[in-house]
Amino acid sequence: MYAVEMENVNVYIGNRHILKNISLKIPYNSVYVIMGPSGSGKTTILRVINRLIDVNRDARVEGTVKVLGFDALKKDPYELRRYIGMVFQTPNPFPHMTIYDNVAIAAKINGVAKNRKDLDAVVRWALEKAMLWDEVKDRLYDYPHQLSGGQKQRLCLARALAMKPKLLLLDEPTANIDPVNARKLEEAIVSLKDEITVIMVTHYPHQAARVADYVTIVYDGRIVEQGPANQIFLRPTTELAQKLLRGEI
Amino acid sequence: MYKWRKLKDRIFFAVILILSIIAITPVIHLIVVTLANGLSVIIRAGPSFFTSIPPAPTSKDVGGIAPSLVGSLMLTALALPITIVIALFSSIMVNEFPRNPLSIAVDVVAKSLASIPTIAVSMVVYLLVVVPMGTFSTLAGVVALTIVSLPYAYTYFSTYLRSIPETYREAAYSIAMSRWKTVTRVFLPIIRRGVLVTVLMTMARILGETAALLFTVGRYRIGVSTSILGPTDALPLLIFDYILTPYRNFQEIAWGAAALLLIAYLIIFIATKLAVRGVKL
C-alpha cells in the first residue's frame, strides 16, 4: 500500500501539456522529495494530489491517481482535502485572523476539536510541531503581518498540521525564507514523518539530501529518475539528473 | 546639478499644490455656501424644521421638511438592504463562477444599467409600477432607487472581491474549506472594509438621487406618509422643486434640506474612513 500512487498521469492546461505520463508510488510515513528546474511540473504534481488543480478552469487531468486509497480524481475534492495539508511557496496565512485563529480554523473546519479546551490543545500541538510555539506563545492574538516571513511560513505549516492530515504537501516551503527559518522548517518536516507522509517540492539538492527518503526528479513534465534518496544522490543514472544535482540546470 | 534637481523638485511640488487647490476650491466653496445658507435656516427654525411640513408659499413661517425627511429615510431603509443583498450575491456569483452564462449575463446587465440615465429608469418604473398601481408610491421609489444604485454597489463589490489574491483561495481550499465557507469566512472578512465602504457609499447615492424619483414617489408634502404603497417625498426632490420657485421661504427650506444632506454625506464619508480597520495583507 502506498500513500499516493500515480499511473500515466497527464495534465493539460489549455493546449499545453504540463505533465507527461507521470507514474510514481509514494510509501506511507516517508519524506518524498520532488526535484526539478522551474516550470518542470513539480507543483502541478502536488496540485493533482489534492485536486487544487481544479481551481484552474482550463486544467484537464488524465490517468489514475490514488491518494490514501481513494480514487482522487473521482472523490469529492473538499472531502479529499480533509486528509491532505498543504504549505505553499509563498506564505499565505489568512490576514484577517489572529495567529491562534489561523491555526484553529483548520481544526474547526475539519472537526478535529470538539470544544475550546481541545482546540487550545490542537493549536498548541500544531504550533509546537511547526517549531513556532516558543516564538508566539505570548502573542497568539497578534496578526500574521506582525510575523517575519519565516514565522509566517511556519504558521502555515501549523495551520496545515492542525487538520491532523495523513498527507502533507510542501511546495518549496523554504524558497522565500532565511536559512535559520529554513533549518527550523526542515527539522519540523523530518520530525513529522512518523505520523504523516510528507511530499516536498524543492529546488535545492542539499535540502533534499537532508530530508528525503525518496526522490523523484522531474524535467519538462516527465520523470527523469526516481528512487531512494541515497541511490539518487550517490549514483544518479541519467545525465539530466546528474546535471540537476550539480546545479547546472 | 544637485541645485537644479532641487529646483525642479520644488517647481513640481508647487505645480501639484496649485492644481490641488484649483481642484478642491469648488468643493470647499460648495460646502461653505451650502452650510452657511442652510445652517442659518435650520438654526432659525429650530427642531420644528425636522418635524413640520413645508410652509405655504407666502407664509412667514420657515416650516419644515418632515415629509421629505421621513420619505428619504424610508426610501433609503428599504432600497439599501435590497440593493446591497442583490449586489453582493451577484458579485460573489460572478467572482466564483465567471464563465457561467448566468454570471456573464449578470455582469453585462449590471454594467449596462450603470450607463442608463436615471431619469429613464424613473420613466420605466413609472410605466411598470406607478401606472399598474394607479398611484405614486414609496414602493415605486424603492424599485427605481434599487435599479439606479445596483450597478454602483455591484461594481464596488466586484472590484473588492477581485482584489483578493488567489493565494487565499488556495489556502482556504487546502484546509478543506468549501467554496461557500471560503467566501464567508475568508473573502468577505478580508474585504470587510470594502463591504462597509460600499454600503455607506450606496447609502449616500440613494439619499442623494433625484431623477429616479421624479416620476415615482409623487412629492407628497402635505403630511408625513409612512405608507409603502402610497405617495411620499424625498429630500433631493424637495430641494430640486423649491430652489426653482420664486418664493423666498421655499428657497430657504431648500437650503436647509441641502445642508442636512451635505452633513449626512460628510458623516458618511468620515464614517467610511474611520469605521472599520482594513485588513493588512
pLDDT per position in chain A (249 positions), as tens?
899 999 999 999 999 999 999 999 999 999 999 999 889 999 999 999 999 999 998 999 999 999 999 999 999 999 999 999 999 999 999 999 999 999 999 999 999 988 999 999 999 999 999 989 999 999 999 999 999 999 999 999 999 999 999 999 999 888 877 888 888 888 888 888 888 999 999 988 888 888 999 999 999 999 999 999 999 988 888 888 888 888 777
**495523513: which residue's cell?**
A166
Q: How many A/B residue pairs have CB atoms within 8 Å?
A: 71
Angstrom distances, CA of residue A34 to CA of A166, A186, A232, B28, B145 = 18, 15, 12, 63, 58
Is B56 part of any domain? no
In the predicted structure, residue B277 carries a pLDDT above the cut 70: no
Under DSSP, is residue A69 helix (H, G, I), strand (E, B) or coil?
coil
For residue range B203-244, list pLDDT tens digits in order. 999 999 999 999 999 999 999 999 999 999 999 999 999 999
Contacts of A105 in chain B (CB under 8 A): 175, 185
What's the pLDDT at A206?
Answer: 86
Question: CA-to-CA distance for B92 and A107, rounded, in angstroms?
Answer: 26
Tell me, what CATH number does A155's domain have?
A: 3.40.50.300
Per the structure, how many domains does chain B have? 1
A240-249, B9-18, B51-60, B120-129: least confidently modelled range: A240-249
Kindly list the residues from chain B whose CB atom is less than 8 angstroms away from the CB atom of residue A159: 171, 175
- Residue B164 contacts A where some CB pair is shorter than 8 Å: no
Name chain B contacts of A167, Cβ cutoff 8 Å: none
Question: Given this model, what pLDDT does residue B275 score?
Answer: 67
Domain of residue B96, residue span = 66-274
Nearest to B170 among A88, A109, A143 (CB): A88
Shortest CB distance from B190 goes to which of A78, A96, A143? A96
Q: Do B186 and A94 touch (CB under 8 A)?
A: yes
Nearest chain B alpha carbon to A94: B168
- Angle between the N-to-C axes of helices B235-243 and B192-208, in degrees from 0 to 180, rounded to the nearest 10: 40
Pick the residue of B174, B178, B191, B195 with the most A CBs within 10 A to test the interface with A by mutation: B174
* CB–CB contact B174 A57 (8 Å): no
Inter-chain residue contact A57 with B99, CB threshold 8 Å = yes
Give the pLDDT confidence score for residue A81 in this predicted structure: 96
Domain range for A88 is 2-245
CATH number, domain containing residue B153: 1.10.3720.10
Looking at the partner chain, which of A90, A97, A145 has a beta carbon nearest the beta carbon of B280? A145
Contact A81 B167 (CB under 8 A): no
The confidence score (pLDDT) of residue A178 equals 82
**Residue B247: inside a domain:** yes
Distance CA A38, CA A22 (A): 17
Q: Across all residues in chain B, what is the average pLDDT?
A: 93
- Please indicate whether, in this complex, the C-beta atoms of A96 and B175 are within 8 angstroms of each other: no
Long-range contacts of A209-213 (CB under 8 A, 24+ apart): A209/A233, A210/A186, A211/A31, A211/A33, A211/A186, A212/A31, A212/A32, A212/A33, A213/A27, A213/A30, A213/A31, A213/A32
8 Å CB contact of A81 and B173: yes
Is residue B208 assigned to a domain?
yes
Q: From the list B99, B170, B190, which residue is nearest A95 (CB)?
A: B190
A86: which chain B residues are within 8 Å (Cβ-Cβ)?
Answer: 170, 174
Tell me if B3 is assigned to some domain. no
Percent of chain B residues topping a pLDDT of 90: 87
Asked if B280 and A106 come within 8 Å (Cβ–Cβ), the reply is: no
Residue B278 pLDDT exceeds 80:
no
Q: How many residues does chain A have?
A: 249
pLDDT tens string B141-189: 999 999 999 999 999 999 999 999 999 999 999 999 999 999 999 999 9
**Closest partner CB to B281 (pick from A84, A95, A97):** A95
CA-based nearest residue in chain A for residue B186: A94
Q: Within a domain: residue B31?
A: no
Rounded CA gap, A193 and A229, in Å? Answer: 15
Please give the helix or strand (H or E) that residue B177 lies within, else none. none
pLDDT tens, position by position, B68-122: 999 999 999 999 999 999 999 999 999 999 999 999 999 999 988 888 999 999 9
Structure-block grid coordinates of residue A229: 534518496
Judge whether residue B48 has pLDDT over 70: yes
Q: Does B1 touch chain A (CB under 8 A)?
A: no
SS3 content of chain B, % helix, strand, coil (to 5): 75, 0, 25
Residue with cell 510515513: A29
Q: Residues B265, B268, B271, B273: is their CA dihedral positive or negative? A: negative
pLDDT at A82: 96
* pLDDT for the residue numbered B276: 66
3-state secondary structure of A192: helix
Q: What pLDDT digit, counting tens, does each position of B109-141 carry?
A: 998 888 899 999 999 999 999 999 999 999 999
**Shortest Cα distance from A82 to chain B (angstroms)?**
5
Instruction: Report how far residue B72's alpha carbon sits from residue B232's, in angstroms, rounded to the nearest whole number.
Output: 9
Q: Residue A173 corresponds to which amino acid?
A: P
Q: Taking CB atoms and an 8 Å limit, are B190 and A52 in contact across chains?
A: no
In chain A, the number of structural domains is 1
Q: CB contact, 8 Å: B279 with chain A?
A: yes
